[in-house]
Amino acid sequence: MRPTVHDIAAAAGVSLATVDRVLNQRAGVRTVTREKVEQAIERIGYVRDVAAANLAKSRVYPFVFILPSGDNSFMRGLEEQVRAAIGRSAVERTDITVVTVPAFNVEALVAALDEARAGSPAGVAVVAIDSPDVIAAVDRLRAGRIPVVTLVSDLAGSKRDHFAGVDNIAAGRTAASLMGRFLGGRSGPVAVLAGSMLVRDHRERLDGFRTVMAEHFSGHALLPVIEGQDDPALVEKLVGKALAASPEIAGIYSLGAGNRGLIAALKRRVNAAPVCVIAHELTQHTRAALNDGLIDVVLNQDAGHEVRSAIRVLKAKADGVAVIGAQERIRLDIFLKDNLPFEQDSNQAPAEGRQD
């Protein structure tokens, strides 16, 4: 049988109350006694039963998720996943609040972070914008001992506890590697379409892409980056213009959102040479375009995994316990037409069994 607090007490020759004081770092234990207890814990290999502890504490974890608002399929999918997690809150002992703020708006994000702090939650997950003000706001949370996880886009230089997202430099490198190889012998420049250089994930993808293109596929010139603000209408206009200006374009790397606009622009092209298109995030639009052959590769991060991982990490940080490192690494999915997963509701439940 697994040792309990009673076994610690017996092994250390102290009372249950003293064991409890040591375990829960309460005051009123002499250092010698504390060490005696800690040695006993070590010796008998005691591991706290988290389930029982949570039960006794009636623990719930109030978390705040801060996401960009707006018409962005990926972000709306992310929000849907957070809401799915809210649906599981009874089982997972969470109490999650979702806050949306206008995209690429530093002041709004800082205000949301500060407001979250005022509610003193057990943790905050945030899709970060790279800015000194945001870093300061995150560090204020951390100064108040509130764990912070960045979601999707990281915030280097801040004291955030963890980043739940993909390695975006690797994503950019991968895009370049696939682009170069898919183009094979073909010549022609490559266009890059981004949302905004304000967010770190976009910048990192661009860096990775540029590095590998320059290193291995320098035959393809890179056209100036198109900044579409993740806005489909704007993207469509800008891409259309770029395609008209450089009809010899061989490839397009779309590293942000607003892919609906890209797809619309591609559809309007007729009798033109094939273009290798690599885009990010699997949405209904990119999925359809992949199936139609308009897009060649979709690089994806699984929003559901990111949300679940963020929650696990926030819980662990709130409790001061370790996490399974490998489980929390968010992987970059590479989707071709051939390995598209079946479409399904993100929060469907199997027919059999009842959630209890």
Partner DNA sequence: AATTTTCTGATTTACGTACATCAAATTTTC
Partner DNA sequence: GAAAATTTGATGTACGTAAATCAGAAAATT
Half-sphere exposure (Cβ direction) of 221: Cα atoms closer than 13 Å: 7
CB of 2 to DNA, least distance (A): 6
In the complex, the residues that contact its own copies under the rule CB under 8 A are 2, 47-52, 54-55, 88, 90-91, 167, 170-171, 173-174, 176-178, 181-182, 184-185, 208, 212, 302, 304-305, 308, 316, 320-327, 329, 331-334, 336-341, 344, 346-350, 352-356
From first CA to last CA, the distance across the chain in angstroms is 27
CA of residue 98 relative to chain centroid, distance: 15
Q: Which two tokens stand for residue 29?
A: 């234990």
Q: Are 160 and 136 in contact, with CB atoms under 8 Å apart?
A: no
Residues paired with 96 in a beta bridge: 63
Q: Which helix (H) or strand (E) holds 331?
A: none
CB of 156 to its own copies, least distance (A): 17
Report if residue 175 touches DNA, rule: CB under 7 A: no
Judged by beta carbon, residue 33 or residue 89, the one nearer DNA is 33
Give the residue among 130, 85, 134, 82 at the shortest CA–CA distance from 108. Answer: 134
Q: Using CB distances below 5 to 8 A depending on partner kind, what does residue 24 bind out of DNA, its own copies, none? A: DNA
What is the rounded distance in angstroms from the CA atom of residue 33 to the CA atom of residue 24? 14
Q: Are 68 and 82 in contact, with CB atoms under 8 Å apart?
A: no
- Report helix, strand or coil for 222: strand
Q: Could you say which residues in the range 3-62 bind DNA, by CB under 7 A?
A: 4-6, 13-18, 20-21, 23-24, 27-30, 32-34, 46, 48-49, 52-53, 55-58
Judged by beta carbon, residue 16 or residue 340, the one nearer its own copies is 340
Judged by beta carbon, residue 35 or residue 114, the one nearer DNA is 35
CB of 10 to DNA, least distance (A): 10
Enumerate binding residues for DNA (CB under 7 A).
Answer: 1-2, 4-6, 13-18, 20-21, 23-24, 27-30, 32-34, 46, 48-49, 52-53, 55-58
